[in-house]
């Protein structure tokens, strides 16, 4: 009786399978001819994002619908495809697209386990699904998938199919293909992964969201161990490799940002906009590579300089209070998960981590950070925020349980401190004054926090950093570096000041009486500068500064122009200073050097504009001499800490310290630093260009010029020197003491008893280029 039942059961199963097979054959006959063309596979053109690089080939950013890095089997380690086969399809090279044995094994496993826990999709079937089908779980889709897999196997080789799979499969973090996933999770190309890392990547196709190591490392780790076990079982790796891979500590990139080699988000967006204007949506899919003038070393130096300068300013002005509050989880099994959820959408800005306060007192703060777990802050780490721990701020801003704060870890000591997101903004740009190549550009404290690019979009008053352009104009009107000017109070009538009577002052509200032009610029004295502008005329000065690239419409033709009351961008100011650094030649800044397609063919090549002479080389030389004194003994004397004699520049501070600047240069680089609030307001008492902006410039220059030899400025033809009496501004008479000063040959003051001695041959007429020059007044004092 028992045997009879088994007999009938077997017959029934055989009949069922025969019927199923017959229906399958019939369906195949009807469906196979209507399957889609495989042109998408045979002419595979993946959507490769546009990538942006520095001049020295470091990745800045990528923009595209899909993050992708196409690889071939020949240029990746052999254990990468082995890990994939071990995880997904060990019989890939034996079956014909549909693995019958695999189907039977999966069916048996599912019957024994009481559910559908194991699938039987081959790599070829996954390729068919990814390229041509949806992910719906229906019999029709599965049949189409199987038939397409068979068709693919008849058209492509196994290696071609595996290559398609490796480059097409979605693996989380917006990464399509193993090449992109390697960058996304490990920050390295697929060619450089280890066996352990390859196994982690190979575990992702089964369920990218479930096994994403950024989201759930422990779950991803279990999947990785399974893949390693299968690799060992299949003898892809030996015992030693297996043990080493199991024990290797994996470092996962815990960010959704691009796996870039250098942080230059503002640069990346500038390039993206320029490329989109030219190529439209093709930039997101065609695999273009854009090479910029940015140098990695310079950009990193600029980043660090700006971040440090902003943080130092923020520390000087005290703790403003907590960012907000987070509902504390009730007593539960897993409070950490609730805190992680609360912090999920609060970004880490640089190394300023968001944290929730668990307990707070004036001597100890315990807080929880998603990235660093529970941490304790004591001693010096509490000093900055002490007011918020002792009732010195409104209650809503105090540090207490549930408060959202920012914490920062000291990289050397490991100690934590309470910090805050700075409210102030800053910008920095450096340019090669000989070519116009932009070497570094930082448009703000953090792009993800504030996407406004202050280098090119912020129109701000330049303050005293604009004075060199006024003094340059004065040299062309007959002034000399030795000309004496009054430094005494004056009141400017409304018609000369833009509509309101104006009583300007020097920064420290002190006056020297009579000073030379050199002294006036070195000490950044306002009253002498205004008198100089009075003498040459505001309209002349406004037209003159146009040659430096400034928009005359943004420079008011009033005496307030002397103190930088117009508007400039940091990029404009840096461009203008290139003329002083480059012997009077102005460069045109540029950022993109070339664009190539994904096959390396050049699509466009930049041809930098040739620098053009905009001021007399003698003017540039004398102005550089004046600005070297600003650095050596003037408002920027702090820069002498760099130990260089070839630096020149000018501080800038606007009314009520709303903007702080430093613009300066060395023969090989011009740099401009700015700091201020987006909604202009005072930076605070004492926050001058020398205090707030100069340190940013110094830190950058100290880094990029570390191995650059000191260089002098070549004296052009037509410059003479004379020994000048500082009391008269005239050459010394017999027995008088004086100092050496530079002059245009035709404007050197002469005493019959003390003629000037030319140091160089006269300038050629073409080199002078001075607009309606006139001799200085008979009186040497203005």
Which residue, chain included where needed, has tokens 């000037």? 756
Residue 246, CA atoms < 13 Å, CB-side half-sphere:
15
Is residue 372 within 8 Å of 318, Cβ to Cβ?
A: no
Q: Could you tell me which of 268, 289, 258, 82 has the C-alpha nearest to residue 175?
A: 258
The CA-atom distances, in angstroms, between 718 and each of 326, 370, 469, 686 are 71, 67, 21, 42
DSSP string of 387-424?
Answer: GGGTT-S-GGGS--TTEEEEEEE-TTT--EEEE---S-
269 noted as active-site residue: no
DSSP 8-state assignment for residue 771: T
Give the active site residue among 182, 263, 464, 465: 464
88 noted as active-site residue: yes
Joined together, the tokens standing for residue 539 give 């309209």
Joined together, the tokens standing for residue 475 give 């040299």
Secondary structure of residue 730 in the 3-state scheme: strand
Secondary structure of residue 537 in the 3-state scheme: coil
Joined together, the tokens standing for residue 439 give 């070497």
Q: Could you tell me which of 360, 412, 369 has the C-alpha nearest to residue 387?
A: 360
What is the per-residue burial (b if ≥16 Cβ within 10 Å, else e) of 652-669? bbbeebbbbbbbbbbbbb
Sign of CA pseudo-dihedral 105, 111, 113, 119: positive
Please list the residues that pair with 405 across neighbouring strands.
355
Give the active site residue among 62, 88, 153, 425: 88
The CA-atom distances, in angstroms, between 245 and each of 68, 226, 251 are 26, 12, 13
Nearest-angstrom CA–CA distance, 423 and 439: 27
DSSP string of 229-267?
Answer: HHHHHTTSS-HHHHHHHHHPPP-----SS---SS--HHH
Q: Could you tell me which of 617, 548, 578 has the C-alpha nearest to residue 768?
A: 617
Residue 432, CA atoms < 13 Å, CB-side half-sphere:
15
3-state SS string over 46-108? CCECEEEECCCCCEEEEECCCEECCCCHHHCCCHHHHHHHHHHCCCCCCCCCCCHHHHHHHHH
Joined together, the tokens standing for residue 274 give 């320029």
Chain centroid, CA 147 distance in Å: 49
Q: Any idea which residues carry the catalytic annotation?
A: 88, 464
């Amino acid at each position: 009786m028992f045997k009879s039942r088994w007999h009938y059961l077997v017959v029934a199963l055989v009949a069922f399978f025969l019927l199923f097979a017959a229906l399958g054959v019939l369906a195949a006959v009807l469906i196979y001819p209507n399957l889609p063309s495989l042109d998408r596979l045979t002419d595979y053109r993946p959507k490769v994002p546009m990538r942006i690089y520095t001049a020295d080939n470091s990745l800045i950013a990528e923009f595209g619908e899909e993050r992708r890095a196409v690889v071939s089997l020949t240029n990746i380690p052999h254990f990468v495809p082995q890990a994939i086969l071990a995880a997904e399809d060990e019989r890939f090279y034996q079956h014909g697209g549909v693995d019958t044995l695999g189907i039977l094994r999966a069916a048996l496993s599912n019957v024994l386990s009481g559910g559908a826990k194991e699938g039987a999709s081959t790599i070829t079937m996954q390729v068919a699904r990814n390229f041509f089908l949806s992910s719906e779980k229906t019999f029709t889709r599965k049949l189409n998938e199987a038939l397409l897999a068979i068709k693919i196997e008849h058209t492509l080789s196994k290696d071609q199919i595996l290559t398609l799979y490796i480059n097409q499969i979605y693996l989380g973090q917006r990464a399509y293909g193993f090449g992109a996933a390697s960058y996304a999770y490990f920050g390295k190309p697929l060619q450089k992964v280890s066996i352990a890392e390859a196994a982690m990547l190979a575990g992702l196709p089964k369920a990218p969201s479930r096994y994403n190591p950024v989201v759930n490392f422990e779950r991803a780790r279990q999947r990785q161990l399974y893949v390693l076990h299968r690799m060992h079982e299949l003898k892809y790796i030996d015992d030693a490799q297996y043990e080493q891979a199991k024990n290797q500590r994996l470092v996962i990139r815990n960010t959704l940002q691009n796996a870039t080699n250098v942080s230059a988000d503002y640069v990346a967006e500038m390039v993206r906009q320029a490329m989109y204007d030219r190529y439209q949506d093709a930039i997101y899919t065609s695999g273009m590579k854009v090479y910029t003038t940015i140098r990695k070393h310079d950009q990193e130096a600029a980043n660090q300089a700006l971040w440090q300068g902003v943080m130092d300013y923020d520390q000087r002005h005290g703790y403003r209070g907590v960012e907000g509050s987070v509902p504390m989880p009730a007593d539960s099994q897993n409070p950490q998960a609730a805190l992680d959820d609360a912090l999920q959408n609060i970004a880490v800005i640089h190394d300023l981590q968001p944290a929730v306060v668990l307990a707070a007192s004036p001597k100890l703060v315990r807080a929880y950070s998603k990235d660093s777990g529970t941490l304790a802050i004591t001693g010096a780490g509490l000093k900055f925020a002490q007011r918020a721990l002792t009732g010195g701020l409104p209650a809503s801003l105090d540090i207490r349980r549930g408060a959202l704060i920012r914490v920062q870890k000291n990289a050397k000591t490991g100690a934590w401190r309470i910090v805050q997101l700075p409210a102030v903004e800053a910008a920095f740009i450096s340019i090669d004054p000989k070519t116009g190549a932009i070497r570094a550009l930082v448009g703000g404290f953090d792009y993800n926090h504030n996407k406004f690019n202050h280098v090119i979009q912020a129109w701000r008053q330049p303050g005293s950093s604009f004075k060199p352009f006024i003094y340059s104009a004065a040299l062309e009107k007959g002034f000399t570096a030795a000309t004496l000017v009054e430094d005494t109070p004056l009141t400017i009538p409304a018609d000369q000041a833009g509509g309101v009577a104006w009583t300007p002052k020097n920064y420290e509200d002190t006056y020297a009486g009579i000073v030379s032009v050199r002294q006036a610029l070195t000490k950044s004295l306002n009253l002498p500068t205004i008198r100089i502008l009075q003498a040459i005329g505001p309209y002349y000065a406004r037209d003159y500064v146009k040659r430096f690239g400034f928009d005359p419409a943004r420079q008011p033709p009033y005496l307030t122009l002397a103190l930088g009351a117009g508007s400039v961008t940091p990029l404009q100011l840096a461009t203008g200073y290139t003329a002083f650094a480059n012997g009077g030649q102005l460069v045109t800044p540029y950022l993109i050097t070339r664009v190539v397609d994904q096959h390396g063919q050049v699509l466009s090549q930049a041809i930098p504009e040739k620098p053009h002479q905009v001021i007399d080389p003698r003017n540039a030389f004398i102005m550089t001499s004046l600005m070297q004194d600003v650095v050596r003994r003037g408002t920027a004397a702090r820069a002498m800490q760099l130990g260089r004699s070839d630096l020149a520049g000018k501080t800038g501070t606007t009314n009520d310290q709303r903007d702080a600047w430093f613009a300066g240069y060395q023969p090989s680089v011009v740099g401009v630093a700015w700091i201020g609030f987006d909604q202009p307001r005072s930076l605070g008492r004492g926050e001058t260009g020398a205090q707030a902006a100069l340190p940013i410039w110094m830190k950058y220059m100290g880094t990029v010029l570390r191995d650059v030899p000191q260089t002098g400025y070549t004296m052009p033809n037509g410059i003479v020197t004379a020994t000048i009496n500082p009391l008269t501004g005239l050459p010394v008479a017999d027995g008088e003491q004086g100092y050496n000063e530079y002059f245009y040959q035709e404007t050197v003051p002469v005493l019959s008893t003390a003629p000037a001695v030319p140091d160089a041959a006269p300038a050629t007429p073409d080199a002078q280029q001075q607009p309606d020059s006139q001799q200085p007044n008979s009186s040497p004092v203005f």
